[in-house]
Amino acid sequence: MRKRRGKNRQRDREKVAGVVSVANAVPKRMLQLAGVAGEALRVELVCWKRFERGNVPDAVLVEACSFKQYAIKLIKLLCAKRYDLILFDELRLLPIMIVMGKLTGARIVYNRQEIPTLAVAEKLFSICGVPVKQGKRFADCIEISMMKRVHGALSIPLVDAEVAKLKKSGIPVSVVWNLPERSGFLPLSERRPVDGDCERYFIYAGEVAWEYGLRSILKLVRYLNMDGYGVKLLLVGRLWKLSGEELFSEINAASCNEWVEYREWVPYEEALKLMRGACGALALTDPYYEKFSYMGEGASRKVFTYMSAGIPVIAGGAFGKIVEEENAGYFVNYHDFGELLESARDLLSNEGTARKMGDAGRRAIVEKYNWENEQDKVKKLLSEVMTA
C-alpha cells in the first residue's frame, strides 16, 4: 500500500522539462521549442554561463570555464532536478543525456542542429589527418548508434539522404524548419521611409564568417560607394572561425573602413529593429563549404527573419530559392559578383520596387513560413515521446 501511495504522488506531481543548451544566449530555435514544451509541462532553461552578456533571464546558469567543467556540473544538476523530459542541443551532450535518461527516468529528446558530425569529421582531419568524408561516415555511425538510446529527435531540414540516415535510428524524428514567430513581428511602420533623408545601409545579421560571403559583401559596399550610392554596411553577429583582428584587417584591405560598422552582439529584438531600418539584407552562402551541401531549404533562419522585417533580401544557395519564389528579393549565384552588384544597385535605384519586394516577403511569412504553422510537428513528437 505504501508503494502505491508513492506511485500516486509521483503521478500527481507537476511534470517538468529541462531545456539544456551549451550556449548562454540560447538560440531562438531552442526558446521556441521550450515554448512548445511549456504548453504541457513546466519548463526550466539550463544554460552554460560563458559570457556576461546575453544570458537568458530566469534560466538556470551553470558557471564553468570549460566544457568538461560544465558537463560535470550539469550531471550533478540533472541528477538533483530529475526532470521528466530533457531537450538538449549538442552532440557532445548526447552520451551524457543517455546516462541521465537511465539514471533519472527522464524522456530524452535530441535537438540536432546544423551538421554536428561534420564538426567531428573536421576535428578528426585536423588531429589525425582522416579525410573529412571518411571521418563524417564514422561520426554518423557513432551518432546514429547513440541516437537509438534516446526517445526522439528534432532536426533542421537536410537533404533527403541525411534525413534517411537519421531515421535509421528507429526513434521518432521530426524535421522542423527554422522560422520566425508571427506573433513577434513589429509593425511595418518602423521601416525606413521611401525616398527619406535617413542614412541608407545594407544589413548582414548572423555569424560573421568567410563562408557567409564576407569578402563579397565588403567588395559590394566599396563598389556601391564608388558608384556614388552613399550606402553603408552593418554587420551584426558574433565572429565564427574569424578573429576581430582578421575582420578589421579584411575591412581595411577592402578599402571600405568608412562605410562598415560592426556590432558583435545585440538582443534579438534590437536586431529586428536594425533590419527594419535597412534598405536591403544580405544572405550569401559559399556552395563549396561542406556544411551547406547537406542542408536543405528552411535550415537557415536568416532569410526568414529578414523577410519578417519587410525588407528585400539578396540571397544565394538553397536558402535563397524561397526569396526568389516569393518575389521577396533577388536570388544570386555566390561566385557571380556582377549579379550581386546589379541586384544591390536595383534595390537602391528603385525603392518602390524594393518596398513591394519587402511587402511580398512579409506576406509570405505571415501566411506560410512562420513558427505558428511549424510548431505542430514539435507538439506531435513531444506527445509521442511522453506517452510512449
Quote the Cα angle for 197-200-202, to 5°: 165
Task: Indicate if the pLDDT at residue 147 is higher than 80.
Answer: yes
Banded pLDDT at 287 (limits 50, 70, 90): confident
CATH number of 2-113+148-179+371-387: 3.40.50.2000
Task: Indicate if the pLDDT at residue 5 is higher than 50.
Answer: no
Rg of the chain on CA atoms, in Å: 22
Is CATH 3.40.50.2000 correct for 182-367? Answer: yes
Cell (9 digits) for 253:
584591405
Q: Which range among 8-17, 87-96, 241-250 shows the weakest confidence by mean pLDDT?
A: 8-17
Task: Name the DSSP letter for residue 192.
Answer: P
- Count of residues making up the chain: 388
Strand ranges, E, within the chain: 16-21, 42-49, 60-63, 85-88, 107-112, 152-155, 173-175, 200-205, 231-236, 260-263, 280-283, 313-315, 329-331
Q: Where in the chain is the domain with CATH 3.40.50.2000?
A: 2-113+148-179+371-387, 182-367
- Give the integer Cα–Cα distance in Å for 331 and 41: 42
- Average pLDDT on 178-183 reads 87
* Burial status of residue 12 (CB atoms within 10 A of its CB: 0-12, 13-18, 19 or more): exposed
- Report the 10 Å Cβ neighbour count for 377: 15
Do 320 and 331 meet the contact criterion of CB atoms below 8 Å apart? yes
- Give the integer Cα–Cα distance in Å for 172 and 109: 10
